[in-house]
Each structure stands twice: as structure tokens, then as C-alpha cells.
Homo-oligomer: A and B are copies of this chain.
């Protein structure tokens, strides 16, 4: 009940790295006029987390069960899905509803907050989809210049 799903010796489910590892200095004021880093970063990292994004997208359709999500995302391991869901739950983005039946059934659903997030996230997803070619082209070109 200690190591649980937590990889090795973390204390947070799915986005520990930022909050914990990032304060390497005593005072860390970047410049208030831009972005206040610390806090925003921890939210951004949730968004940047591949699995979180996919889960959010899948759930924007409506509530889903555990294995349903697993099938939809398909590349995700069960551990990562659990971890991701716990993280999203922790952040108040999804709710976890347990039906004490046999066999057990658990539904995951976006909260209002989660739905709010899903909008900019999907906007981003659309952008990504739209410009994928350009980016991949740029990557190829860059790689050729750099080692070809």
C-alpha cells in the first residue's frame, strides 16, 4: 500500500516530477509579467501528458468504464491508465463512480472542470492534426541537414 502504482518512490500519482523536482533554488521568481511558471507548469504537464490528453478526449464523449478506455486507447498499459485516471481524479478533472456489483464496475466521467479543459485541449489536438504534415516535414528536413 506504499509502492502501489507509484513507480518507485514518488508520492504523487501522475505528475510529481514538476512540483517536486523543480524547485532547485530558494527563490524562483521568473518575472511576474509573463507566466508564473510553477503552478501553471504543473497543469500544463498534465495536459502534456499523452495519456491524460487521450483519456480526456475519450471521456469528452461521455462516461466510460475502465476497460472501455483501455480498449479505446489501446496503446496504454493498465498501470498507466490507472495512474492517469488517478491523476485526473486528483486534479478534479474526472470523477470515479464505483458500482459495487459483481463483477465490479467503475465509471469515469469528466467533471465540469474536465469538460472545460477538454475544449482547449481539443483545439490543440485539432491544430496538431492539421499541422502534423508541416511539422513532420520540418523534422525530416532538419534531420537531413543535421546528419545527412
| Residue positions of A touching B, CB distance < 8 A | 18, 22, 24-25, 28-31, 34-41, 43-45, 47-50, 53-54, 57-58, 71-75, 89-93, 113, 116-117, 120-121, 123-125, 127-129, 131-132, 134-139, 141-143
Q: Which residue of B lies closest to A51 (CB)?
A: B41
Please, which residue of chain B has its CB at the minimum distance from the CB of A38?
B75
User: Can you name the residue of chain B whose Cβ is closest to the Cβ of A126?
Assistant: B120
Q: Which residues of B contact A141 (CB under 8 A)?
A: 92
Query: Contact between B125 and A124 (Cβ–Cβ < 8 Å)?
Result: no
Measured between beta carbons, the chain B residues less than 8 angstroms from A50 are 18, 41, 44-45, 48
Please name all residues of chain B whose beta carbon is closer than 8 Å to the beta carbon of A90 when the two chains form the complex: 138-139, 142-143
Q: How far is the CA of A34 from the CA of B54 in the complex (A)?
A: 9
CB distance from A126 to the nearest CB of B (A): 8
Q: Which residues of the other chain, B, contact A58 by a CB distance below 8 angstroms?
A: 34
Contact B54 A37 (CB under 8 A): yes
